[in-house]
């Protein structure tokens, strides 16, 4: 069974930001599952999805949510796979989402990226998978080289 990433967001209103996560995963040819599930609106369905996703080969989860953003923490409560949190811009400019995610109490960690940092969330998940996947490691090196070349070629 191939390694997959599980991407979940609390609402369809998060989709605009979370599309960035899909773009990177597509670019690297990494398989993923994507769902809209909420920690407070659909807690039982969320628990079921996390457990079943693991059985289907999901090795890392990405959770995007805004406001009182407990989605990533709740996902992490149901799995020992790494969970990456994406704080989504909100009425409080995403500061509420950021603090809710980054301030996980000791014992159940989540790795929080920047506000709206969906692309970095996918890159981090890919870096985790690349530990045991040399082809992915090479793709990451190529990605960084391309990125650097673009900057060095920029004329202002």
Residues that bind ligand RP5 (CB under 6 A): 10-11, 13-14, 38, 65-67, 88
For ligand RP5, the closer of residues 59 and 83 by Cβ is 83
H-helix or E-strand spanning residue 76? helix 71-77
DSSP assignment of 78-137 equals T-SS-EEEEEEP-TTTTHHHHHHHHTPPTTS--EE--TT-HHHHHHHHHHHHHTT-HHHH
For ligand RP5, the closer of residues 97 and 122 by Cβ is 97
For ligand RP5, the closer of residues 66 and 73 by Cβ is 66
For ligand RP5, the closer of residues 6 and 10 by Cβ is 10
Shortest Å distance, C-beta 88 to ligand RP5: 5
Shortest Å distance, C-beta 67 to ligand RP5: 4
Shortest Å distance, C-beta 101 to ligand RP5: 11
Nearest-Å Rg of the Cα atoms of the chain is: 16
CB closest to ligand RP5, residue no: 10
At 32 the three-state DSSP class reads strand
Shortest Å distance, C-beta 66 to ligand RP5: 3
Sheet containing strand 83-88, strands side by side: 31-36, 4-9, 58-66, 83-88, 111-112
């Amino acid at each position: 069974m191939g390694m997959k990433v599980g991407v979940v967001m609390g609402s369809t209103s998060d989709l605009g930001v979370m599309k960035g996560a899909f773009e990177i995963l597509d670019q690297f040819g990494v398989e993923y599952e994507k769902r809209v599930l909420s920690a407070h609106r659909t807690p039982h369905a969320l628990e079921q999805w996390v457990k079943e996703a693991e059985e289907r080969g999901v090795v890392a989860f990405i959770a995007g949510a805004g406001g009182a953003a407990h989605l990533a923490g709740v996902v992490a409560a149901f799995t020992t796979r790494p969970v990456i949190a994406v704080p989504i811009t909100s009425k409080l400019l995403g500061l509420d989402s950021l603090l809710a995610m980054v301030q996980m109490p000791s014992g159940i960690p989540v790795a929080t990226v920047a506000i709206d940092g969906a692309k970095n969330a996918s890159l981090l998940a890919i870096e985790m998978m690349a530990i045991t996947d040399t082809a992915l490691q090479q793709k990451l090196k190529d990605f960084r080289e391309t990125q650097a070349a673009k900057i060095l070629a920029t004329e202002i």
